[in-house]
Structure 1
Amino acid sequence: MHTFEYVRATDTREVVQLLADDPAAACLAGGTTQLDMMKDGVLEPPTLIDITRLPLHGIERRGEILHVGALVTMEELAADATVAERLPMVRESLLQGASVQLRNMATIGGNLLQRTRCRYFRDPTVSACNKRTPDSGCAAVEGVARMHAVLGASERCIALHASDLAVALVALDAAVHVQGPSHSRTVPLTEFYLTAAESPQRENVLEHAELITEVEIPLPPAAARSGYLKVRDRTSYEFALTSAAVLLVVDHATIRQARVGLGGVGTKPWRAYEAEHVLTGAPATTATFLDAADATMRDAWTVPGTAFKVPLARRTLVRELQNVSGVDV
């Protein structure tokens, strides 16, 4: 790892000003992604700003919205009573997203900003990576690509977004509060992430001198049921091959409301609007669920190594729709 200057900050505005003054500086919170990438030589910030002392740690329910500080850990959010009662798919995504040790370190803001696990991106000896070096090519398209994306992908980049939590939050219409040097703004997560097809080198709309301070999670109706299903190579800590976050409100066997997010398949946390359109107002049957899954995966872009993900993602979504709705397999 290269040498760097370490700065411990205690004020949010101090952090954003430090970032504004140094275009190459980076922030350190839980460090579960940042330090790995520095060790790999992918990131080499000259200045590392420790933000763990910022006052961004609380969880507070205000009416029907849960406000979560960006420095709340994954374990703290999973243990929250409101999350357990009203947001089971968020809790399940957190518990399945990392080991206990990592959940006690990793922050919510950091999880939403985690970089791709693409082996080619994380290996500086690989020259063809449009995410690291624009217009250099994509080694994954011709290489081993089993853990890569099929939605939002193109010949420019098929790097997968790895967060489980972000999949659930995108489905719930969560938003992030962002602080800049002289402004603040709120960005819906559905508009926060960029696909690799749009911009391989840029994964979200956050500017360099901006900092996520809070996540705002709308609580679903009390009648809603939700869940998160993650398919992976092993049941212990592992990244998703495919996953589905599903929320349904079913009334007299008819789906009145549907929210669906997909993971393990997108270059960003994938909101499955096509599935929601098929589901809303339709009977809660396996036939409906199959139609929703087909609509979601219709525009998948695959290479030989990722083609298996299309039928697997369909089956994952159908199974979780069955689980949440109570329809028999």
Structure 2
Amino acid sequence: MRPFNFITAESREHALKLVADNKNAKFIGGGTNLLDLMKLEIEAPSLLIDISRTDLGQIEKVDDGRIAIGASVTNSALAANMDVRRDYPVLSRALLAGASGQLRNKATTGGNLLQRTRCQYFYDTAQACNKRLPGSGCSAKGGFSRQLAVLDIDDSCIASFPSDMAVALRVLDAEIELVSLSGTRMVPIGDFYSGTSMQPHIDTVLKHDELITRIILPRPLGGSHFYEKVRDRASYAFAIVSAAMVFQPDGSARVAFGGLAPKPWRVEFAEKLLTTDIDEYVRLAFSGARATHENQFKIPLAKQILKTLISKHREL
């Protein structure tokens, strides 16, 4: 790990001023991903700005029945919140499926959104990786790719996105509040992640001088909420394929997937087929799939997960 300076921000304004003055500064909340990346020298900020003492640790109701989640709220606190458990159970279940209790106690909501891929070639600095070093190549394409993406990829990168929480937020149509010294903007989570687009080193639309301050959940959707995760072991493992699904009393449904793409994967225009024609939904939603011989099983697995969730819903 390279030497760095550490400052605890007294307020969000103080934090924003510090990051604006240093192009190599990064915010730190729980640090459950960033510190690992720093130890491997994949990330090497000269300044860490601790935001743990800012006013971002609250979960509160806002106008029209929506809920605002502060960026410093821990994953454990969010999963246990009674409003979340009652009105957004898909989010609580995704968080509980996401990591060990120790990590959930430390990891923050904002940090969860910004965690980077767990592709083993990204973490191995002896390997070529366009996400870590643009233009160096992608060792994953000819290597071990069972865990990696099959959608929204190109020849530059096939890394998958690891967050469970973000998959649930995508099915809920959450919004992300981004603040800088020049103002505030709201970004729908569907627009927050960049995908590959020949620039795999750019994960999100977040600018260097912006801070995630809150995640805004819409008014409660009602319906039946499910989160299904297939992984290699029963606990503390990233998804091979996961799905967040919400069924409504009128027969409609919505679904978002994890483990298939470099961002949470949702295809809204095809969702009208979820409870009537699963084969056609899969054909439309996964039409651009580009699998390797090691991960080509992911699309039929996603289809089976859909069938399982629909069966669970019908049993209620």
TM norm. shorter chain > 0.5:
yes
Q: Deviations over 1:240-288 (max 9, x none)?
A: 000010011133xxx2x32211001111111232441323xxxx45xx2
Aligned to 2:312: 323
Aligned to 2:225: 226
Taking only aligned residues, the RMSD between alpha carbons, in angstroms, comes to: 1.5
Task: Find the aligned partners of 1:212 and 1:28 in 2 and give their Cα distance.
Answer: 11
Aligned to 1:238: 237
Q: 1:128-143 maps to which residues of 2 (within 5 A)?
A: 128-143=128-143
Q: Deviations over 1:281-326 (max 9, x none)?
A: xxx45xx234323332222111222212121122122212332343
Counterpart among 277, 289, 303 of residue 314 in structure 1: 303
Counterpart among 253, 269, 275 of residue 258 in structure 1: 253
Aligned to 2:88: 87
Aligned to 1:278: 273
Aligned to 2:25: 25
- Matched length: 315
Aligned to 1:97: 98
* 3-state SS of paired residue (2:296): coil
* 3-state SS of paired residue (1:229): strand
Contact 1:161 1:264 in 2 (8 A): yes
Q: Deviations over 1:72-94 (max 9, x none)?
A: 00110111111111111101100
Task: Find the aligned partners of 2:273 and 2:164 in 1 and give their Cα distance.
Answer: 24
Q: 1:285-300 maps to which residues of 2 (within 5 A)?
A: 288-300=277-289
Change (3 A) 1:311 1:274: farther
Q: For structure 2, list consecutive stretches of 5 or more residues without a partner in the other structure.
A: none
Task: Find the aligned partners of 2:218 and 2:315 in 1 and give their Cα distance.
Answer: 24
Task: Find the aligned partners of 1:235 and 1:274 in 2 and give their Cα distance.
Answer: 33
Task: Find the aligned partners of 1:290 and 1:208 in 2 and give their Cα distance.
Answer: 42
Contact 1:180 1:209 in 2 (8 A): yes
Contact 2:66 2:220 in 1 (8 A): no
Aligned to 2:291: 302
* 3-state SS of paired residue (2:245): strand
* 3-state SS of paired residue (1:97): coil
Q: For structure 1, list consecutive stretches of 5 or more residues without a partner in the other structure.
A: none
Task: Find the aligned partners of 1:221 and 1:41 in 2 and give their Cα distance.
Answer: 43
Q: Deviations over 1:196-251 (max 9, x none)?
A: 135201011000010000000113333x1111000011111110000010011133
Task: Find the aligned partners of 2:278 and 2:311 in 1 and give their Cα distance.
Answer: 8
Task: Find the aligned partners of 2:108 and 2:206 in 1 and give their Cα distance.
Answer: 17
Contact 1:260 1:275 in 2 (8 A): no
In the alignment, structure 1 residue 248 sits paired with structure 2 residue 242: no
Task: Find the aligned partners of 2:37 and 2:254 in 1 and give their Cα distance.
Answer: 33
In the alignment, structure 1 residue 200 sits paired with structure 2 residue 200: yes
Task: Find the aligned partners of 2:102 and 2:279 in 1 and give their Cα distance.
Answer: 38
Task: Find the aligned partners of 1:47 and 1:221 in 2 and give their Cα distance.
Answer: 41
Change (3 A) 1:249 1:13: same
Task: Find the aligned partners of 1:323 and 1:203 in 2 and give their Cα distance.
Answer: 34
Q: Deviations over 1:110-166 (max 9, x none)?
A: 00110111111112221x211122222111111111111111111111111000000
Amino acid at match of 1:260: V
* 3-state SS of paired residue (2:248): strand
Which region of structure 1 is more displaced relative to structure 2, 29-38 or 59-68? Answer: 59-68
Contact 1:290 1:318 in 2 (8 A): no
Amino acid at match of 2:169: L
Amino acid at match of 2:271: E
* 3-state SS of paired residue (2:288): coil
Task: Find the aligned partners of 1:319 and 1:22 in 2 and give their Cα distance.
Answer: 50
Aligned to 2:122: 121
* 3-state SS of paired residue (1:178): strand
* 3-state SS of paired residue (1:250): coil
* 3-state SS of paired residue (1:49): strand
1:50 shift after superposition: 0.9
Contact 1:77 1:91 in 2 (8 A): yes
Amino acid at match of 1:114: Q
Aligned to 1:110: 111
